[in-house]
Amino acid sequence: MNHTQRPPHTRWRFLALVALGGACGSALRAAIALAIHDDAFPVATLTVNLAGAFGLGMLLEALSRFGDDTGRRRVLRLGIGTGFFGGFTTYSTFAVDTVRLLADGAPPLAIGYALVTLAVGAVATVLGIMLGAGLHRRRSRGGGAA
């Protein structure tokens, strides 16, 4: 198997791209967590997870509509999709925050937080997909930059 036929996850260039994107996404998430003081309710975690669901939905839909997963589209998918949004979103912290709310004696808040995160996350993803599809339609009609 030659170099161009190897899967992306076995190529150093793509691994480095995912790592760099992940570091950037994690750094932005940490900055948001420091900026939003949320002792009573995990606002920062909710914010990054919903923004990440929207952004990832938009990115992947737009990339899939613009063509095959090759070249620049593959680089964007791996660097921004897998790397940045993978580092930016944090469903492990979501789980820990939910357990913390339960342990703090706030089961209704914990259940509400979990349901809002999942339901609104799904809606955010769908909205991102719709925007990604709209970007493609706009470009294919000649309204966007090539």
Binding site, annotated residues: 86, 89
On whether the CB atoms of residues 21 and 83 are closer than 8 A, the answer is yes
Can you spell out the DSSP letters for 60-86? HHHHHHH--S-HHHHHHIIIIIIIIIH
Q: Please tell me the number of Cα atoms within 13 Å of 116 on its side-chain side.
A: 14
Binding residues for Na(+): 86, 89
**Distance in angstroms (rounded) separating the CA atoms of residues 90 and 87:** 7
Of the candidates 68, 28, 61, 21, the residue with the CA atom closest to the CA atom of residue 47: 28
